Structure 1
Amino acid sequence: MASRSSSRARRKKRRIAIAVGVSALAVGLIAAGSVVAVGLTASEPSAAVPAASTKTATPTPTPLTAAESLLQEANDPAACAVSFVGDSVPDEPMLQTQDALFSYLPIPDREGDVFAGWYPTEADAAAHNIAARVNGSDVVACTDDELTLYGGWVTPDEVTAENTGVPILMYHQFTTRPEGEDGWLRGNYAYIGDFEEQITYIADTGFYLPTWDELSAFIDGRLFLPNRSVIITDDDADSSWLELAAPVVDSHGVLTTSFVITKFRSEGTPSKYVLQRSHTHDMHEAGANGDGRMVNYTAEEIAADMQTSADVLGAKEIMAYPFGHYNDTAKEGLRRAGFEMARTIEQGYVHVGTDKLALPCIRMNYGMGLNELISLIG
């Protein structure tokens, strides 16, 4: 009996051990399956439960301003986008070139008022601060490739009260001899010492230097010019102008115009402060009657010559009559060639309403020093 009982006890223990082993194996398999399932879930998410995204949303870019778009399109490291602020001024910016002179800034219109120019601040525009006024005699300088200019306006009564008469100075040749040159053209030769004193005076005493498009708008009554305005010109582009006078102009940063006979000269300007405009191509010669060819040619011949000159210079706008000779046919030839203005040798000042194809001038002769200049331009 004792032996049978111990045998039953041993079988019972084996069954318990087997059951425990089977249970342990089952638990192990379940656990292993869970690990595999977890591994699969981590690396290959099921379609039923998408994995959480780790990507960051791309922010919406800030739209470019009109000035920024203009600069981007230009793709020019020297470009400057100039924007305009004020009543009745252009909404869109325009491109200018840094370190060059401003080129053809807009001249807006507003009924009942006259445009008074562009200024670097709103306060300057409101005060019509001529010393700060910006135009084509100034060098473009931008911050971060952009610049903002503010427009000013005056009333027609203010224009009338100013009563501006613009002098166009006319020089010819230059000499280093204080006693002057000899010969019948002696009067044409300004002493370079006198010229330098005159240019220094103009540069240092706050004269406004209008561009030709500004003078045109002034004549039309669309633009206000201050009474202390002056335009400086040279006829012929003589070698003495290039060697003696142009360096003076350049050193003082004073805008001038050189009227070039393009048959004889076609090289570029000696300075960014020297605009080159036409003195005709091949009409600075006497015609059949002894007067200049400009009053001997037909309108068609004049237009053809002027177009040739414009092709060389890359500009029209204004010309100077050779010897000061002109007539109605000459004017018609200029119109056909697309020239708006012409300078004569007649003495006088440019006012609102002056004939644009017969602009007067102030002739500067040998012996005219600083005092004479001051008496003529203030």
Structure 2
Amino acid sequence: MSNVFYQDQVAVLMYHHVHETDGGGITITPQLFREQINHLRNLGYHFIHLHQFKHYLSGSHIPPNAVLLTFDDGYESVYENVYPYIKQQHIPIVNFIMTETLPQAAHLPPTMTVQQLSIMNKETDLVENQSHTDGLHHKTNNDDPAGDAYFTSKLPTSNGTIETDEQYHTRIVEDAKRSRQQLHPVNQHAVDVVAYPFGIYTDTAIQYYQEGGFNYGFTIVEEMATRQADPMKIPRINAGSPWITPGDLHAIIQSKIVS
């Protein structure tokens, strides 16, 4: 009989880049990813769909040890190194796509194309393509971890002034609408979920994205997700570090369980 570590809560796991040779703190190898997932599955974790998670927030039942897998930034490595595995194992995932990267252009690391998103959308019901905003995954100073984020900050205008409240409001709402419009053809379900760039958000920015059609938002606050969570401030646990072994990931999840 499977272990029951927790019930009525969800470990939402966050990944980014899954690549054999690329380095960095948000990149793991395909082998480590598979080992992590196999380890969790063997221990009795259950991988759920995004629509199951939404229903859970509204009061529906979910299996014990529920896990939701999410991938930020829309790297092509997810299509090449994650999708074949999750399709074989029948494990659902969520891609959070920066939709400004969808036109054919050079990006490093390479990002997924509309065609690749369409293939995943049509071949199975395992992949949801949701938003990482359209063009807000930037800071005014990318070398500064605390640099002003496009999502939460008023930006300089072409005439040298700073955006007014109304200009900022319009920019964020229109970004939300553009992102939804571009993702609608490559998603079987409603496009109404956003992961905040860099995990940075304000209540005002969230309100404006809601005006643009979004009902759920994911953060990088490392906690379990429960029904008590604000649906626009859902926590996630980072699993996509090269230093997180399968055993470490299990231990991290165990340390976050809400009793």
Picking from 120, 138, 157, the partner of 1:285 is: 138
Structure 1 or 2: more strand by fraction: 1
SS in 1 for 2:62: coil
Higher relative contact order by CA 8 Å / sep ≥ 6: 1 or 2? 2
Q: Is the 8 A contact 1:165 1:351 kept in 2?
A: yes
Gaps of 5+ in 1: 1-129, 131-161
The residue that corresponds to 1:340 in the other structure is 215
SS in 1 for 2:221: strand
The residue that corresponds to 2:152 in the other structure is 295
The CA RMSD over aligned residues, in Å, is: 2.3
CA deviations over 1:5-33 (Å, ceiling 9, x no partner): xxxxxxxxxxxxxxxxxxxxxxxxxxxxx
Tell me how many residue pairs correspond in the alignment.
211
CA deviations over 1:271-323 (Å, ceiling 9, x no partner): 33221110011111114893221102533321211111111111422110011
Gaps of 5+ in 2: 103-112, 155-167, 185-189, 255-259
Write out aligned runs for 1:318-329 (5 A).
318-329=193-204
The TM-score with structure 2 as length reference comes to 0.74
The residue that corresponds to 2:52 in the other structure is 214
Write out aligned runs for 1:1-378 (5 A).
163-177=7-21, 181=23, 186-203=24-41, 206-220=44-58, 222-265=59-102, 266-268=113-115, 269=117, 270-271=119-120, 272=124, 273-287=126-140, 290-297=147-154, 298-314=168-184, 315-364=190-239, 365-377=241-253
Name the CA distance, whole Å, in 2 between partners of 1:172 and 1:357. 21
Name the CA distance, whole Å, in 2 between partners of 1:291 and 1:251. 41
Name the CA distance, whole Å, in 2 between partners of 1:299 and 1:358. 20
Shift of 1:203: 4.8
The TM-score with structure 1 as length reference comes to 0.52
CA deviations over 1:223-245 (Å, ceiling 9, x no partner): 12233100001111112222222
Name the CA distance, whole Å, in 2 between partners of 1:377 and 1:290. 30
SS in 1 for 2:47: coil
Name the CA distance, whole Å, in 2 between partners of 1:252 and 1:212. 17
Q: Is the 8 A contact 2:71 2:94 kept in 1?
A: yes
Name the CA distance, whole Å, in 2 between partners of 1:252 and 1:205. 16
Name the CA distance, whole Å, in 2 between partners of 1:195 and 1:228. 18
Name the CA distance, whole Å, in 1 between partners of 2:136 and 2:169. 13
CA deviations over 1:174-231 (Å, ceiling 9, x no partner): 2314xx72xxxx21011221101123344555533333343233234x2122331000
For 1:195, the aligned partner's letter is: F
